[in-house]
Amino acid sequence: MTKASRLTKVTLYALPFTLIYGWINHLFWMIGFGNRYTPILFLAGLVFATMWYLFSESWKKADVRWMLVPIAWVITVILLPWRTFTSSPHNDVHYHILQAKNIAGISDAVPPHQGLDFLFRPPMIPGVYAGEISITGSDWIHLTHLILTIFAIWQVQHLAERWTTKPRAAIAALIFLLLPVTRYWGQFQLLDLPVAGMFLFVTHALFVAERKRKVYWFLGLLGFLAGILFLTKYVFIYTIGLAGWFIIKDKNLFRAKWFTIGFSISVIPYLAYHWLLYGDPFEALTPQSSYAMKSMVSTIGTYDAGTWAYHFRSQIFEIGILAILAGFILMYGTKRDELKTASVLFIPFIIIHGIILDFGTLRYLLPVFALGMTFMVASMPDFKNKLTQDWESVRRFMNNISLVIIIVIASIHFSTLDEEYQLMEAEVPPKDISMNFYLNASEMFPENEWVISSKHIPLTLFTEKKIDSFIGMEGNISMGMQDKNINFAMTSNLDPYYAWESDFRTYFGDQNLEPVDYHQEQEHLAVLWQLKEDNWRQPSTQISSTNGSIFGNLLILNQSQSVEFSNVQNIFWVSNHSETMVQEYLNRNAESAAQTCDFSEISGFCEVENSKLTNQYTHEIYIWFV
C-alpha cells in the first residue's frame, strides 16, 4: 500500500480536528473562560501546526486531486452567492451565530426558544464559529461555514477512494457538491454539511477499527469522535450503540470498553454542565427527544417515509438509485464486511429520519446523499482487482451503466444553475427588505424590557435586546404575555411568521392590549403593544343590533353595514387606512368630540345623535365605545 501524502492526511483529518477545536472552545466556555482570546490562540496553533506539517514535505502530483473540490466550491459560491443571504429566514442560522458569540464571550444574549431559556442547540459548529467571531467581532459568519463544507466534501472523496480509483472518487465528491441540496445548504451557517462529513469520517474510522481490534487508543479515539458527532447533531446519540455492536461481534468487552471511555470523555463535560445548571444532563435534548417520543406513538407532523423518499429522488433521481443499488451489489461481492459495518451506522439513521420522526427537511438527508455518492462510484470498480470472468463481465457492464448515470445526473443539476440563480434574485431582496424593516422597528423596543416578536432570534442576534417568541400563543397574545410576564409585543403585516400577526383587528379589540408605538415604511406596518387594560366599553352592552363585526371591544363596519345603539352617548372611530390608523388612535383627543359623526373624515370622537349609524364609504370604520 502506497503511503499517503501529508496533504492527503490533512484533507482527511481537517474536519474532525476542526470540530475538536470547536469542542475545546465550548469546553472553555462551559467552565467560565468564554472569551475571544482563547479561540484565536487555539486557532492560530491549529493553523500553524497544519502549515508546518504540510510544507515540511514536497507535494506529489497526485495531490492535485484535493484541489478540485475547493476550486469547484469557489466557483459555485461565485455563481450562486447564497452566502450573502444575511436575511435568511432560517432561524437556526442566526441561533448558531448567536451561540458562537456567547462562546466567544462577545454576547450573553439568549433568546428563549422551544420552551428553553438557555443555549441548547448542538455546540460543536458554534464552537468552531467562535474562532471567526473572535477575530472579526462581527454579527455574521462570512467564511468558516464555507471552509467546513469543503472539509465535509473531502470526506466523500476519501471514503470513495477506499472503494474505487482516485479519479472516480473525485467524481463522487464533485457530483455531491453539485447537488442542489449541497450547493444551497452548504452556504448557510448550519450544521448539516459538517454532520454529513463527520458521519462519513466515523464510518471510515469504524472500518479501520475492524483492523485495529486491539489498539486501545484508536478505539478510544473512535469513541471520542462518535461523541463529537453526537455533539454536532443530537440525533447521533445512537452512535453509543456501537459499543453494543462491538460486544455482539467480538463476544468480549475490550473494544466496547475503550470506545465507551472515549465517548464519555467527549460527552461527559457537556452532560455534567447541564446537570449542574439545570438539574438534568439531557435537558438540552428535551425539545427533540420529546418530539421524537411523540412521533413514535402518534402522528404529530406531516413528514413521513413518502416525503423522505421524494426528497431522496429529487436529488438522485431513479437512475441514481439504480447506480447506488449497483454499488450495493458489487460491494456485497467485494467489500461485504465493510458494507455490513457501514449499515450499523446508516440503517438507524434512515429509520430515525425516514420512519420515526414526523418532522424533517431535505437537508437532513445529506449524510445519506454523501454515502450514496460513494456507493454510486463503487459501481465503477478498479479492474486491477481481477475476480472470475463472470464477475469481470458484470463489473464491466456496471461500470459503463454507472458512468452514464453519473454524467446524466451531473448534467441535470448543472443545467439548473441558472434557474436557481433567478430564484435567488427573486427571494433575497424581499427578505432583505423584511429584515431591515424589523431591525428599524426594533428601535422602538423599551430598554431593559422583554418584548415578544416572531423574529426574536435574528433580532436578538443583531440588536442584543431581550426578545421572546410567539410560540404556543395561537393568536391570543395578551394571554401569552401574561403567562410569560412580558409587557410588550410587536406584530407586523410584513412577512409575519404567523398569519394572525397581521390581523390588527384582534389586538385593537383586546381589552388587555393597547398600542403604544408603531413603525411604518410605505404599506408595511409594525405595532408595539403593551399589556394594559383599555377604557372602552363592551359593544354588546352598547348596541341593540349590528351587521358589522365585533372583535372584543371593537366594532368594525364595512361599506353599507350599520349599527343600532341602545345606550351610547359618545364613540371614537377611525377610518381603516393602515398608513394612518395607529397614528390616529394614539393621537386621539377626547376633548375635541364632534356633535355629529362624519365618517368622511379620518378619525374622531363624536356624539351619537341617532340610534343608527351606517358606513356609506368604501373603507372600514373602526368604532370604540366611550
Q: Give pLDDT, residue 583.
A: 85
Strand order of the β-sheet with 451-452 is 467-468, 451-452, 488-492, 524-531, 513-521
pLDDT value at 167 more than 70: yes
Q: Which amino acid would we find at residue 329?
A: I
Continuous segment of H or E residues that includes residue 451: strand 451-452
How does pLDDT run across 357-396, given as a tens digit for each residue?
Answer: 777 789 999 999 999 999 888 766 555 555 555 666 666 6
| Residue closest to 539 by CA, chosen among 525, 524, 549 | 549
How does pLDDT run across 575-606, given as a tens digit for each residue?
Answer: 876 567 888 888 888 777 787 888 888 888 98
96 confidence band (pLDDT: 50, 70, 90): very high
Sign of the C-alpha dihedral computed for residues 177, 178, 183 and 184 taken in this order: negative
Q: What is the length of the chain?
A: 626
Q: Give pLDDT, residue 541.
A: 82
Distance from C-alpha of 37 to C-alpha of 17, rounded to nearest angstrom:
19
How does pLDDT run across 101-149, given as a tens digit for each residue?
Answer: 999 999 999 999 888 888 899 999 999 999 999 999 999 999 999 999 9
**Given the DSSP bridges, would you call strands 554-557 and 549-551 parallel, antiparallel or unpaired?**
antiparallel
Residue 3 DSSP code: P
Hey, what's the cell of 175? 457530483
454 φ/ψ angles, rounded to the nearest 5 degrees = -70, -20
Hey, what's the cell of 15? 474536519
How does pLDDT run across 224-237, given as a tens digit for each residue?
Answer: 999 999 999 999 99
Say if residues 255 and 212 touch (Cβ distance below 8 Å). no
Q: Is 380 helix (H, G, I), strand (E, B) or coil?
A: coil
Distance from C-alpha of 103 to C-alpha of 30, rounded to nearest angstrom:
8
Domains of the chain: 6-415 (no CATH), 449-531 (3.40.190), 539-625 (no CATH)
Higher-confidence residue of 386 and 25: namely 25
Say if residues 187 and 145 touch (Cβ distance below 8 Å). yes
- Please state, as a whole number, how many other Cβ atoms lie within 10 Å of the Cβ of residue 497: 15
196 confidence band (pLDDT: 50, 70, 90): very high
Q: Is 139 helix (H, G, I), strand (E, B) or coil?
A: coil
294 confidence band (pLDDT: 50, 70, 90): low
Hey, what's the cell of 22? 470547536
Say if residues 331 and 389 touch (Cβ distance below 8 Å). no
Q: What is the mean pLDDT of the chain?
A: 89
Hey, what's the cell of 195? 454532520
Q: Give pLDDT, residue 520.
A: 92
Q: Which amino acid would we find at residue 248?
A: I
Residue 549, sorted as left (phi over 0), alpha (psi -120 to 50) or beta, turns out to be beta
- Neighbour-count burial of 418, counting CB atoms closer than 10 A to its CB (0-12 exposed, 13-18 middle, 19+ buried): exposed
Q: Give pLDDT, residue 264.
A: 98
Q: Give pLDDT, residue 518.
A: 93
| Mean pLDDT of all residues in 466-480 | 89
Higher-confidence residue of 529 and 400: namely 529
Distance from C-alpha of 605 to C-alpha of 598, rounded to nearest angstrom:
10
Distance from C-alpha of 229 to C-alpha of 250, rounded to nearest angstrom:
24
Q: Give pLDDT, residue 538.
A: 87
pLDDT value at 558 more than 80: yes
Q: Give pLDDT, residue 369.
A: 94
Distance from C-alpha of 447 to C-alpha of 254, rounded to nearest angstrom:
59
Say if residues 113 and 90 touch (Cβ distance below 8 Å). no
What proportion of the chain, given as a percentage, has pLDDT over 70? 93
| Residue closest to 567 by CA, chosen among 540, 595, 536 | 540
Q: What is the pTM of this model?
A: 0.91
| Residue closest to 465 by CA, chosen among 486, 484, 446 | 446
Say if residues 39 and 134 touch (Cβ distance below 8 Å). yes
| Residue closest to 159 by CA, chosen among 333, 405, 375 | 375
Distance from C-alpha of 304 to C-alpha of 295, rounded to nearest angstrom:
10
| Mean pLDDT of all residues in 548-552 | 90
Hey, what's the cell of 72? 469547484
Q: Is 537 helix (H, G, I), strand (E, B) or coil?
A: strand
420 confidence band (pLDDT: 50, 70, 90): very high
The gap from C-alpha 593 to its chain's centroid, in whole angstroms, comes to 53
Q: Give pLDDT, residue 291.
A: 64
347 φ/ψ angles, rounded to the nearest 5 degrees = -65, -45
| Mean pLDDT of all residues in 197-210 | 96
DSSP β-bridge partners for residue 514: 530
Torsion of CA 371, 373, 375, 376, to 10 degrees: 160
| Mean pLDDT of all residues in 44-70 | 92
Say if residues 396 and 380 touch (Cβ distance below 8 Å). no
Q: Give pLDDT, residue 379.
A: 64
Place of cell 394612518: 580
Q: Give pLDDT, residue 20.
A: 98
Apex CA 243: angle with CA 238 and CA 245, to 5°? 90
Q: Which amino acid would we find at residue 98?
A: L
Distance from C-alpha of 47 to C-alpha of 10, rounded to nearest angstrom:
11
DSSP β-bridge partners for residue 543: 565
Q: Give pLDDT, residue 186.
A: 97
pLDDT value at 89 more than 90: no
300 confidence band (pLDDT: 50, 70, 90): low
Q: What is the DSSP string of 470-504?
A: -TT-TT-HHHHHHHHT--EEEEESSS-SSGGGG-H
Q: Give pLDDT, residue 407.
A: 82
pLDDT value at 519 more than 90: yes
Q: Is 81 helix (H, G, I), strand (E, B) or coil?
A: coil
Sign of the C-alpha dihedral computed for residues 131, 135, 141 and 142 taken in this order: negative
- Neighbour-count burial of 73, counting CB atoms closer than 10 A to its CB (0-12 exposed, 13-18 middle, 19+ buried): buried
How does pLDDT run across 301-347, given as a tens digit for each residue?
Answer: 677 788 888 888 889 888 888 888 888 887 887 788 888 999 999 99
